[in-house]
Amino acid sequence: MRIIQISDTHLSPGKQQFAGNWPPLAAWIAEQRPDLVIHTGDVTVDGADIDEDLRHAAALMRSLGVRFRGVPGNHDVGDPGHPRQSVTAERLARWRAHFGPDRWVEDVAGVRLIGLNAMLFGTGDAQEAVQAAWLDAVMDGADGRQIAWFLHRPLFINTPDEPDTGYWSVKPQPRAQLIELARRHSVALIASGHLHKAHEFRHDGRLYLWAPASAFLVGPGMNAPLMPGENRLGAVIYTIDGPRLEAEIAHVPGLVPYLLDDVVEEVYPRH
Ligand SMILES: [Fe+2]
Ligand SMILES: [Fe+2]
């Protein structure tokens, strides 16, 4: 069983700045002949506000001709506590209408894949509690399988006990609960997107994998904190054989390393 993880495609029919990276990505996926594609969010430039972005991106995903699942990113459904784009029931409903559930579980051989909506962490609302109860249940039901989590925002940047990193990782309180849950159930893999960097490391026996974006890189003008990882575009290939799960960050030929810094005022103008 072969699974491809892609992330941060930032697609939009209205803002085509990164659209040139979709055809080479789609061609590469076709060549890889995966059984499943997992998109870890920021599928769109601005699906949180523009329905057409979600519709367009979902149509492109369907055009791959491969079964896919997705979890939303901040640009798809909004961000907890964001002054103009918070996560609302309406935004979540729009995501589900185009991409299906924002959380899911799927057993593949000896591995249980779990997709999580990281945009609910720390909202404190009913949907967050519903997801947390669901997560407990699907973790308890893993029945000895290896467990792999897929979510947009990484749990942490450098260490699990680091303070709030703001935009870049999950807030300390929900993070601590998730790490405790992962520890209790020996989660094998926590795969994320969002940072537009490629990185993998082990911590407390778990593989943490930051999938590279396929749309653009984040340059020095974006005030990101100092963080590890490689500034490169690409995707991730997972091979599952029984209980064995192997991950490889892959080069995708033809991707152009656009820099967000060069076009940020057109793509994400400050209000
Ligand atoms: Fe992104
Ligand atoms: Fe993001």
pLDDT at 213: 98
Residue range 209-229: mean pLDDT, rounded: 95
Task: Give the span between the Cα atoms of 171 and 106, in whole angstroms.
Answer: 27
pLDDT at 223: 87
What is the residue-averaged pLDDT of the chain? Answer: 97
Residue 159 has pLDDT above 80, yes or no: yes
- Rounded to the nearest angstrom, the distance between the alpha carbon of 8 and the centre of ligand 2 is 7
Range in 10-14, 18-22, 23-27, 121-125 with the lowest mean pLDDT: 121-125
Q: In the chain, what's the furthest Cα-to-Cα distance?
A: 50
134 — phi, psi (to 5°)?
-60, -45
- Rounded to the nearest angstrom, the distance between the alpha carbon of 231 and the centre of ligand 2 is 15
Indicate the DSSP class of residue 232. Answer: -
- Rounded to the nearest angstrom, the distance between the alpha carbon of 225 and the centre of ligand 1 is 15
- Rounded to the nearest angstrom, the distance between the alpha carbon of 196 and the centre of ligand 1 is 6
Residues whose CB is less than 8 angstroms from the CB of residue 124 and which lie 6 or more positions away in sequence, other chains included: none
Residue 260 has pLDDT above 80, yes or no: yes
- Rounded to the nearest angstrom, the distance between the alpha carbon of 143 and the centre of ligand 1 is 34
pTM, two decimal places: 0.98
pLDDT at 186: 87
95 beta partners: none
Residue range 153-179: mean pLDDT, rounded: 97
pLDDT at 271: 58
CA triplet 241, 244, 249: central angle to 5 degrees?
95
- Rounded to the nearest angstrom, the distance between the alpha carbon of 181 and the centre of ligand 1 is 26
pLDDT tens readout for residues 176-201: 999 999 999 989 999 999 999 999 99
- Rounded to the nearest angstrom, the distance between the alpha carbon of 10 and the centre of ligand 1 is 7
Residue 251 has pLDDT above 70, yes or no: yes
Residues whose CB is less than 8 angstroms from the CB of residue 46 and which lie 6 or more positions away in sequence, other chains included: 12, 15, 53, 75, 268
- Rounded to the nearest angstrom, the distance between the alpha carbon of 109 and the centre of ligand 2 is 30
pLDDT at 168: 96
- Rounded to the nearest angstrom, the distance between the alpha carbon of 257 and the centre of ligand 1 is 14
Residue range 145-154: mean pLDDT, rounded: 98
Residue range 245-250: mean pLDDT, rounded: 98
